[in-house]
């Protein structure tokens, strides 16, 4: 029997929901699927992120995941990013952003690890220096940092904001949050520690979510 084509693999994966793809397709470093290893709080976070209204708009325009060090913030963000890149609409653009290029690279490293461990992901996407591209649909996940000068003017489908509490100022946050307002189906996913600067803008975002969540 011949190997399935890229088109056949893409069609099979696009029949999955984002949560099903995360659970069944993405493989962790220890060889288990996400579904086999997922904790209850991880599942709750994934369900909140991928929840949509009947017309496809996200139920939660801003998802704020506050976790301690070592609690899979970057890897879980990468998992959602890969799932949406594969089963999301054709030709969309999403962004992974962080305080520095090194921090942003960590999310890209997680995407590459999923690609290397999953033949389905490997067949569907290509990972370049600053972009991950779905070969079948043309959709892209672009990596940016606070150092990037082109953060304004974009119209993202999703923004994955890693470690908000490490931002030196609010410039990147303002650029990304204002970009989310440009389209009704856009969503921001923030994964961060709470931080120590209780008077800073990251704490204000955290409190806004806590009080209005």
129, containing H or E segment: none
Task: Show the tokens assigned to 80.
Answer: 């959602």
Positive or negative torsion for Cα 31, 135, 107, 24: negative
pLDDT at 185: 92
What values do phi and psi take at 66, rounded to 5?
Answer: -100, 115
Q: Residue 30, Cβ neighbours under 10 Å: how many?
A: 7
Q: Quick one: which of 115, 44, 131, 41 has its CA closest to 83?
A: 115
Cα–Cα distance for residue pair 143/147, rounded to 1 Å: 11
Report the pLDDT value the prediction gives residue 196, as an integer from 0 to 100: 64
pLDDT in tens, 2-48: 555 556 665 666 678 999 999 999 999 999 999 999 999 999 999 99
Domains of the chain, by residue range, sit at 6-212
What is the 3-state composition of the chain as percent helix, strand, coil, each rounded to the nearest 5? 45, 20, 40
CATH class of 6-212: alpha beta
* Residue 1's pLDDT band (cuts 50, 70, 90): very low
Q: pTM score, two decimals?
A: 0.86
């Amino acid at each position: 029997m011949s190997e399935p084509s890229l088109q056949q693999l893409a069609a099979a994966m696009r029949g999955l929901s984002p949560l099903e793809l995360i659970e069944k397709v993405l493989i962790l470093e220890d060889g288990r699927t996400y579904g086999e290893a997922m904790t209850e709080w991880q599942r709750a976070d994934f369900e909140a992120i991928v929840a949509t209204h009947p017309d496809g708009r996200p139920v939660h325009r801003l998802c704020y995941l506050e976790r301690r060090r070592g609690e899979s913030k970057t890897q879980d963000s990468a998992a959602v990013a890969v799932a949406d890149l594969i089963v999301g609409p054709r030709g969309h653009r999403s962004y992974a952003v962080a305080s520095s290029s090194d921090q942003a690279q960590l999310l890209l490293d997680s995407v590459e690890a999923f690609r290397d461990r999953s033949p389905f992901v490997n067949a569907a996407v290509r990972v370049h220096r600053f972009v991950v591209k779905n070969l079948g649909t043309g959709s892209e996940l672009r990596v940016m940092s606070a150092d990037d000068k082109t953060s304004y003017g974009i119209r993202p489908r999703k923004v994955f904001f890693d470690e908000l509490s490490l931002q030196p100022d609010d410039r990147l946050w303002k650029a990304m949050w204002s970009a989310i307002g440009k389209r009704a189906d856009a969503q921001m996913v923030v994964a961060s520690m709470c931080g120590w600067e209780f008077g800073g803008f990251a704490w204000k975002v955290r409190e806004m979510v806590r009080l209005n969540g």
